[in-house]
Structure 1
C-alpha cells in the first residue's frame, strides 16, 4: 500500500473567492495507473464503487460540483486542465491517468487532443450538480461541500487505495 500512496500526487487548493475548492481534502492524481486499460475506465470505476458514470469531455469553463466528489479517468488522448480556479494549477493528463476531485474543486479544459475522451464517476453513484461560482450560490455551496462524506472506496484500487489512506 505504501508504494501506491507514494505514486499518487496530491494538490490542495484554497478558496479563491469564486471557486471554493475543498477546505481539507486534496486532489489526488494517479499518473499512468490504467495505461493498459484506459478504454475500460468506466467499468473499472464501477467495479470500485464509483458510478453514475459518463464518457465525454470536460467543460471549457471553470466549474465544480458542490454536492459530490468526482473522479475523471482519461480514456483516450490527452487534456490540459486547470484545477483550483483561475489561479490554480495546470495539469496535463493522458490516457491511463486518473484524477479525484473533492467536492468544490474547480476544473476547466484548456486544451485537448482531437481523440480526447474522459470517463467521469461519483462515489456510490451519487448525483451531482454543476456550479460555476456565481455569488448567490456561495452560502449554499459552502455548506454542501462540508456535508459530502469521504468516499467508502478508492476509485482505482477499491477497498484499500490511497484515497482511503490520504
Structure 2
C-alpha cells in the first residue's frame, strides 16, 4: 500500500480543511493479494472505529461535509474525482484505493465506469451533512470543531495530523 498526503488550500466555493491533509491510499490488498472489495473495506473501517454507512457512487457536484470526516473505499470499478473544488486536483481511483477526506474537503465525481462503487464511512459518533454553498465563518468554525479521529480508518494506527 502506498499513501499520499496533500494539504489542499481553500478552493473556489469549498473551504477544504485548514490543518488536516487529504490522504490517498493506493493498492490496498487482502491477505490473498486481491484488491479490497466492499465487505473487506467495511470490516476494516469498522474494526478501526469508522462504522461503514453506505455503498454507492460519489455525487457529480462539488460538495463537502462540515460535521464529519469521511473515508471512501473504492470497492469496484474506476473513476476520476475532483478534490478541493473546481480549481483543485483531479485524481483517478480504482478498486482497492481509498481516500480520507477531512471535514471541509470538496469532492465530486467527474467520470466513472458503470460498475464504480465506494464504501463510505465516518468516525464513530460523527454524522455527515452535505454542503454545497461557499463557506462563511460559521461553516469554517463547524469544520474546525470536528474532532480528529482516534484511528486512521485504513491502517488502524493512532491518528495524527501530518
Moved more, 125-134 or 96-105: 125-134
Moved more, 64-73 or 28-37: 28-37
Deviation of 1:36 after TM superposition, in Å, equals 2.9
Unmatched tracts of structure 2, length 5 or more: none
Structure 1: distance between partners of 2:103 and 2:126: 12
Aligned to 1:164: 160
Aligned to 1:37: 36
Moved more, 54-63 or 29-38: 29-38
Deviation of 1:52 after TM superposition, in Å, equals 4.9
CA distance 1:103–1:37, shift in 2 (3 Å): same
Aligned to 1:68: 68
Aligned to 1:55: 55
2:46 aligned with 1:46, yes or no? Answer: yes
Runs of 4+ in structure 1 over 4 Å off: none
Question: Which whole-Å deviations, capped at 9, do the CAs of 1:19-60 have from their partners, x for residues lacking one?
Answer: 000001100000011453223212221111101511010000
- Give the length in aligned residue pairs: 157
CA distance 1:125–1:96, shift in 2 (3 Å): farther
- Superposition TM-score, scaled by structure 2 size: 0.90
* 2:7 equivalent among 12, 17, 21: 12
Quick check: which one's helix share is greater?
Answer: 1
Aligned to 2:16: 21
Unmatched tracts of structure 1, length 5 or more: none
Deviation of 1:119 after TM superposition, in Å, equals 0.4
Structure 2: distance between partners of 1:61 and 1:165: 28
Q: Do the aligned partners of 2:42 and 2:52 also contact (CA within 8 Å) in 1?
A: no
Aligned to 2:132: 132
Aligned to 2:80: 80
Structure 1: distance between partners of 2:36 and 2:74: 10
Structure 2: distance between partners of 1:81 and 1:125: 27
Moved more, 10-19 or 31-40: 31-40
CA distance 1:126–1:52, shift in 2 (3 Å): farther
RMSD across aligned positions (CA):
1.7
